[in-house]
Chain A
């Protein structure tokens, strides 16, 4: 339900964004919002310090006039995500405390008043997950994604897998080529460290992460698109396994990307970003520190980690809180 509300809100806000004037004066210390110029400065800073993040131009038909053509949004590709959130549940709570507010309206507020329906299903999932856990920790190299029996695509996938064998060819030179490394012999099993010093290829999910500037909320906005161990796009339900369970369908929504063609992407909804950023800036100020706007995105990336605790993107050096 919340999902639908967000979808409707998303469309309405798209219109509102169109009408909102572009922010010119810096207000980030008072309100936590930033101007496109400040987004640019903070983006340049992060690109300089973490080269895994890069500026991207996006699809030309979707270029936004308030940002330079070749610096429309930030992207980092192929970020590994070794574990599902349920496998590292404790970690999440630690993260929550950092940014939690005393009163209502905190970043992780959803945690405290879960709808009864949500609660029941999450317990159910937790129970079914327990039985899967031991299996999953042993080997992650199996080709079929697990744990989403509610996904009706599964049947098709199996069928296709059968069909595909008919396409395989033999007698090609590749089979006899000694100089081609067989990467599967170098797959690293996470649970057994028998490989010793030699590193291996880890079969893992990966994510592409984008940060766009949201003109309506005047904050950065995080977008994610995930791929499974065989580099096939993850379904929405599979991606939900990598988001903190408290944020699914509340702060995480599926929407069309402002700069990219293609299917809807998961996004961390920016409606609370400015409040949280303001809070962090205040905390730093109280400690005697002074935050320049250029570190805005580093702080931003650190706090969205609460939503995606297992995706191992680089948010660079530690700053003093």
Chain B
């Protein structure tokens, strides 16, 4: 049987209205005509109910210097490119912006920085133009991902956790996961699971210790996707990291897409997916692999989105609707 190529559910951007308020404020009071890139941040969550898109949230808190990621959510590192005119928004070289961002991820992987702090794998770009007179905002997200030279294929089809692990193991995994997350300063989206006599969740950097017995290691990540046949976007750069760092020692790995749902006061991690993938080493790669990730718009075309907040921000419209 031919192995099936692995497909990832892309991130969908979710912005709250408060973000545009803060951006407008910053544009007027701080940035002025400054178009230089600004650091912002967002987050994703792995406990959404079935059917909800694989979302990344960027909120009014995105501009805070010290980011406070909500509990149980996973931080993403973003760069805001706010342009002054609609023309520079349109003409800006999106390809090179994405390449730069991909390069940064690649450098962090090669230098080992991303092994220490895997959050660096979860990057995003946000290109905006704010028409402050009309309260209309143009925006385009990119969630950069490094593409391996050859497609990654699935050796086994994804199964839910309860089919791959015993009830006992699931319980141990859950408690070990909680211990691991509470030992970190904020929730970490990428980790290792070792199954021996006991189930242990560990940091990604511990992989070096397990190269000899790599068979019992499962690569886990917090999965914002809710589909039962596909993993979410964060796995892509994670696999790139694994292929670059340990690709020579591993060719097949087991992956756990960790989904941490709860409903009616009952926690349920059994909708997590487990499968085995096969990939080629990226260790010998001297150049940064190609990078994809611009988000498609409502019509599934590569283009920006637009949001019109005049009905809730324009003082004259607000006054009219108050009567």
Please list the residues of chain A having a beta carbon within 8 angstroms of any beta carbon in chain B. Answer: 3-4, 7, 47, 49-52, 54-57, 59, 70, 75, 77-78, 80, 143, 153, 156-157, 160, 164-170, 172-175, 177-184, 186, 188, 197-202, 204, 206, 208, 225, 227, 230-233, 235-236, 260-264, 312, 314, 316-318
A to B CB contacts below 8 Å, 11 in the list? A51-B260, A168-B302, A177-B147, A181-B9, A181-B230, A208-B16, A227-B14, A230-B305, A233-B17, A261-B60, A314-B265
> A70, A160, A312: which has the most chain B beta carbons within 10 Å?
A160
- Nearest-neighbour CB distance to chain A for B111, whole angstroms, equals 25
Q: Would B5 and A52 count as touching, CB distance under 8 A?
A: no
| A235 CA to B317 CA, complexed, in Å | 12
Q: Would A54 and B70 count as touching, CB distance under 8 A?
A: yes
**With contacts A77-B45, A233-B17, A317-B266 known, what are 8 further pairs, Cβ within 8 A?**
A156-B308, A164-B304, A173-B292, A180-B10, A186-B9, A198-B229, A200-B227, A261-B21
Q: Would B306 and A160 count as touching, CB distance under 8 A?
A: yes
Closest to B230 in A: A181
In the complex where A4-B323, A178-B151, A231-B15 touch, is A51 in contact with B47 (Cβ < 8 A)? yes
In the complex where A52-B262, A198-B229 touch, is A169 in contact with B47 (Cβ < 8 A)? no
- Nearest-neighbour CB distance to chain B for A118, whole angstroms, equals 17
| A263 CA to B18 CA, complexed, in Å | 7
B38 lies within 8 A of chain A by Cβ: no
- Nearest-neighbour CB distance to chain A for B45, whole angstroms, equals 7
Closest 8 CB pairs of A and B: A263-B312, A168-B303, A316-B265, A262-B18, A202-B51, A317-B265, A181-B7, A49-B265
- Nearest-neighbour CB distance to chain B for A242, whole angstroms, equals 16
Q: Would B309 and A263 count as touching, CB distance under 8 A?
A: yes
Q: Would A51 and B72 count as touching, CB distance under 8 A?
A: yes
Encoded as 1 (CB less than 8 Å from any A CB) or 0, chain B from 11 to 32 comes to: 0111111101110010000000
In the complex where A50-B262, A183-B10 touch, is A225 in contact with B16 (Cβ < 8 A)? yes
Q: Would B17 and A225 count as touching, CB distance under 8 A?
A: yes
Closest to B303 in A: A168
Q: Would B60 and A59 count as touching, CB distance under 8 A?
A: yes
Closest to A314 in B: B263
Q: Which residues of A contact B305 (CB under 8 A)?
A: 164, 230, 232
Q: Which residues of A contact B260 (CB under 8 A)?
A: 51
B1 lies within 8 A of chain A by Cβ: no
Which segment of B161-169, B188-196, B208-216, B293-301 sits at the interface? B293-301
B95 lies within 8 A of chain A by Cβ: yes
Q: Which residues of A contact B20 (CB under 8 A)?
A: 262
Q: Which residues of B contact A170 (CB under 8 A)?
A: 302
In the complex where A172-B294, A316-B264 touch, is A198 in contact with B228 (Cβ < 8 A)? yes
Encoded as 1 (CB less than 8 Å from any A CB) or 0, chain B from 258 to 270 comes to: 0010111111000
Which of B17, B267, B312 is within 8 Å of A51, CB to CB? B267
B113 lies within 8 A of chain A by Cβ: no
Please list the residues of chain B having a beta carbon within 8 angstroms of any beta carbon in chain A. Answer: 5-10, 12-18, 20-22, 25, 45, 47-55, 57, 60, 68, 70-72, 90, 94-95, 136, 138, 147, 151-152, 226-230, 236, 260, 262-267, 290-294, 296-313, 318, 321-323
> B16, B72, B267, B309: which has the most chain A beta carbons within 10 Å?
B16
Closest to A55 in B: B71
Q: Would A199 and B50 count as touching, CB distance under 8 A?
A: yes
Q: Which residues of A contact B313 (CB under 8 A)?
A: 263
Q: Would B300 and A182 count as touching, CB distance under 8 A?
A: yes
Closest to B271 in A: A199
| A183 CA to B53 CA, complexed, in Å | 8
| A169 CA to B297 CA, complexed, in Å | 11
| A45 CA to B63 CA, complexed, in Å | 30
Which of A75, A156, A164, A198 is within 8 Å of B297, CB to CB? A164
Q: Would B14 and A236 count as touching, CB distance under 8 A?
A: no
- Nearest-neighbour CB distance to chain A for B151, whole angstroms, equals 6
Q: Would A7 and B322 count as touching, CB distance under 8 A?
A: yes
Q: Which residues of A contact B10 (CB under 8 A)?
A: 180-181, 183
- Nearest-neighbour CB distance to chain A for B128, whole angstroms, equals 13
| A172 CA to B94 CA, complexed, in Å | 9
Which of A49, A198, A233, A236 is within 8 Å of B321, CB to CB? A236
In the complex where A181-B10, A182-B300 touch, is A164 in contact with B322 (Cβ < 8 A)? no
Q: Would B236 and A165 count as touching, CB distance under 8 A?
A: no
| A199 CA to B228 CA, complexed, in Å | 6
- Nearest-neighbour CB distance to chain A for B67, whole angstroms, equals 12
Q: Would A168 and B301 count as touching, CB distance under 8 A?
A: yes
- Nearest-neighbour CB distance to chain A for B113, whole angstroms, equals 24
Q: Would A179 and B52 count as touching, CB distance under 8 A?
A: no
- Nearest-neighbour CB distance to chain B for A183, whole angstroms, equals 6
Q: Which residues of A contact B267 (CB under 8 A)?
A: 51
Q: Which residues of B contact A3 (CB under 8 A)?
A: 322
Which of B16, B71, B298, B299 is within 8 Å of A262, CB to CB? B16
Which of B5, B152, B302, B322 is within 8 Å of A175, CB to CB? B302
| A185 CA to B293 CA, complexed, in Å | 18
| A47 CA to B267 CA, complexed, in Å | 12
